[in-house]
Amino acid sequence: MQIRSARHDDAEQACEVVRRSITELCHADHRGDAPTLALWLANKTPDNMRRWIDQHCGFVATDGAAIVGIAVLKRTGEIILNYVSPDARFHGVSEALIARLEACACEHGIETVTLQSSATAIRFYLSTGYHSLGPPTQGFGVTLCHPMAKRLGEVLPLGAPHASNFEPATPL
Ligand SMILES: CC(C)(COP(=O)(O)OP(=O)(O)OC[C@H]1O[C@@H](n2cnc3c(N)ncnc32)[C@H](O)[C@@H]1OP(=O)(O)O)[C@@H](O)C(=O)NCCC(=O)NCCS
């Protein structure tokens, strides 16, 4: 598995990874509720993926020619996408992608990385040093978004004030 910058022509394959990841891995979130899945998937299109890749800092994980994961960071420090292919789950893909996004954040002088976790990924983010920023908010349909953050370069003590650059995010 390799990590590289996302390219415009990755959009179709990356979009398919995201759609499969949501549908097949995020049952704890959508609970098989069809309207919820429809809402969640509605903006996961190749065109939007191209826009996110063009406008933000995106990386893909590859296995040969196949894209097995994609993660995208905004310049505000917010991770707006982090999805792994069901074919590559629990093989270090998300860990490697998040590490690359954090390195990218450091390179851009971003001190704190924020995200809205799915229920599915909370355990993963806790194990990679993220902490909760408070109660969940409404996501797509029956889903909840769990606000989390990690201050780069140091470990925050429990109960420490959260990032000054945190902005409420749109669930993606
Ligand atoms: C949970 C998820 C994000 C982890 O990504 P991954 O690439 O499969 O995981 P990695 O191999 O990089 O990391 C393994 C870590 O996942 C976590 N993990 C292991 N088993 C897990 C499980 N059953 N459920 C949740 N997390 C688990 C652990 O923290 C593990 O680290 P450890 O082995 O040191 O304990 C991914 O499997 C997933 O389900 N993604 C669905 C899409 C999603 O929710 N994305 C986040 C949007 S905010």
What CA–CA distance (Å, rounded) separates 115 from 135?
13
What CA–CA distance (Å, rounded) separates 33 from 20?
15
Mean pLDDT value across residues 147-169: 60
Distance 121 CA to ligand 1 centre (A): 6
Domain extent, residue 81, equals: 2-110
**Angle formed by the axes of helices 11-20 and 46-55, nearest 10°:** 110
Maximum Cα–Cα distance for the chain, whole Å?
Answer: 44
Is 60 exceeded by the pLDDT of residue 156? Answer: no
Residue minimizing CA distance to atom 33 of ligand 1: 90
Is 90 exceeded by the pLDDT of residue 160? Answer: no
Distance 139 CA to ligand 1 centre (A): 20
In a domain, 167, yes or no: no
Distance 61 CA to ligand 1 centre (A): 15
In a domain, 67, yes or no: yes
In a domain, 126, yes or no: no
Mean pLDDT value across residues 20-49: 98
What CA–CA distance (Å, rounded) separates 114 from 95?
16
Q: What is the pLDDT of residues 103-128, one digit of tens each?
A: 999 999 999 999 999 999 999 999 99
Q: DSSP string spanning 51-62?
A: HHHHHSEEEEEE
Mean pLDDT value across residues 134-138: 97
Residue 153: which pLDDT band, with cuts at 50, 70 and 90? Answer: confident
Q: Residue 172: its pLDDT value, please?
A: 55
- Testing ligand 1's pocket by substitution, the residue of 94, 115, 116, 172 carrying the most ligand atoms inside 8 A of its CB is 94
Say which CATH number the domain at 43 has: 3.40.630.30
Residue minimizing CA distance to atom 10 of ligand 1: 92
In a domain, 7, yes or no: yes
Distance 98 CA to ligand 1 centre (A): 11
Residue 154: which pLDDT band, with cuts at 50, 70 and 90? Answer: low
* 77 in Cβ contact with 114 (< 8 Å): yes
In a domain, 149, yes or no: no
Is 50 exceeded by the pLDDT of residue 167? Answer: no
Distance 159 CA to ligand 1 centre (A): 25
Give the CA radius of gyration of the chain: 15
In a domain, 11, yes or no: yes
Residue minimizing CA distance to atom 48 of ligand 1: 117
> Using a 6 Å CB cutoff, which residues line ligand 1?
21, 25-26, 82-84, 89-95, 115, 117-118, 120-121, 123-124, 127
In a domain, 160, yes or no: no
Domains of the chain: total: 1
Q: What is the pTM of this model?
A: 0.89
In a domain, 85, yes or no: yes
